[in-house]
Amino acid sequence: MKLIKLVGHVFIIILLTALTQVGGLIWMVALVLSYLLEWKKRYSFPIIYLIFNLILIPVIAPYFGRVQLPVLNSAIRPQNYFYALAFRNYVTPELKSSLNNTAAELANLGIQISYLDANFPFIDGFPLLPHLSHNDGRKVDIAFQYKTANGKSTNKKPSLLGYGNYVNTENPTNHYCKSRGFWQYDITKYLNLNIRNSLEFDRENTKALIQGILYQTNNEKLFIEPYLKEQLGLQSYSEIRFHGCQAVRHDDHIHLQIN
Ligand SMILES: [Zn+2]
């Protein structure tokens, strides 16, 4: 019985570490405190988790070179609070100030920056699964812009998490990559949980969003699918690259990385 309990704890610690980086550690802290102070585990873990998430880690992370992206800001916010609650919204101070500058400019156009996965708070090289490259604070995924069925621009998004809702189901690069054996290229389709089916892709505002991002000088690369780069008329931007078949398709979100 004790062995089963131990295996259960190890499993939870590994799962929480993979999903949130510090969640496994918080589980261990909750276990020790519950044992020492005779707290009920079912209450202690969520309370201690929230204390770490809302107070401790945002204060500690800057000493290790990462800062948290805004959560309740009107110009820049997570598409889903999951990204903040799972410690997946940390970046370098340079990337944060670059996004803040972009968001301030775009606010004039009524465009809000909605971010998806960024990086964990600690340790260069610790990957934020399933993205292998989001491991140094310099990367962030950003949602596209959408409009309502009657053509009005909105900051609402069609899908719950922001991944897997492709602009075109037909994508030449998808065929090319899958025919070469890169089966994972459209794996994000399984993450697509549509909650607002009536919203449509907003070309003008997505283009304005990308141009606003690229107006900052410290950008290294921005990934969208080649067909979208062409359709949006962004061919002149050398920072917009094809990410290669080993990645996943990028006609559902923007990937940005800075120098
Ligand atoms: Zn990315």
For residue 132, what pLDDT is reported? 79
Cα-to-centroid distance, 152 and ligand 1 (Å) = 28
Report the C-alpha gap between 170 and 32 in whole angstroms: 53
Position 209 pLDDT exceeds 80: yes
Cα-to-centroid distance, 116 and ligand 1 (Å) = 9
**What residues does each domain of the chain span?**
2-63, 66-258
Cα-to-centroid distance, 256 and ligand 1 (Å) = 7
Provide the residue type at 193 as one letter: L
Backbone angles phi, psi at 113, to 5 degrees: -85, 120
For residue 194, what pLDDT is reported? 83
Cα-to-centroid distance, 40 and ligand 1 (Å) = 39
Task: Look at the domain 66-258 and name its fold.
Answer: Muramoyl-pentapeptide Carboxypeptidase; domain 2 (3.30.1380)
For 121-174, how does the pLDDT look when each residue is reduced to its tens digit (9 = 90+)?
999 998 888 887 899 999 999 999 999 999 999 999 999 999 999 998 888 899
For 15-29, how does the pLDDT look when each residue is reduced to its tens digit (9 = 90+)?
999 999 999 999 999
For residue 21, what pLDDT is reported? 96
pTM of the model: 0.92
Cα-to-centroid distance, 179 and ligand 1 (Å) = 23
Instruction: Answer with the residue of higher pLDDT: 185 or 1.
Output: 185
Cα-to-centroid distance, 118 and ligand 1 (Å) = 7
Q: Are 117 and 130 in contact (CB under 8 A)?
A: no
Cα-to-centroid distance, 169 and ligand 1 (Å) = 20
Position 52 pLDDT exceeds 80: yes
For 172-206, how does the pLDDT look when each residue is reduced to its tens digit (9 = 90+)?
899 999 999 999 999 998 988 888 888 999 999 99
Return left, alpha or beta for 177; rule: phi > 0 is left, psi -120 to 50 is alpha, else beta: alpha
Question: Between vectors from CA 71 to CA 150 and to CA 20, what angle results, nearest 5°?
Answer: 115
Cα-to-centroid distance, 133 and ligand 1 (Å) = 7
Backbone angles phi, psi at 16, to 5 degrees: -65, -35
For residue 169, what pLDDT is reported? 80
Cα-to-centroid distance, 189 and ligand 1 (Å) = 15
Report the C-alpha gap between 234 and 17 in whole angstroms: 39
Q: How many other β-carbons are positioned within 10 Å of the β-carbon of residue 135? A: 17
Cα-to-centroid distance, 91 and ligand 1 (Å) = 12
Cα-to-centroid distance, 131 and ligand 1 (Å) = 7
Cα-to-centroid distance, 114 and ligand 1 (Å) = 13
Question: Which residues touch 253 (CB under 8 Å, ≥6 apart)?
Answer: 116, 141, 142, 143, 144, 162, 163
Q: How many other β-carbons are positioned within 10 Å of the β-carbon of residue 21? A: 22
* Bond into 158 cis (ω within 30): no
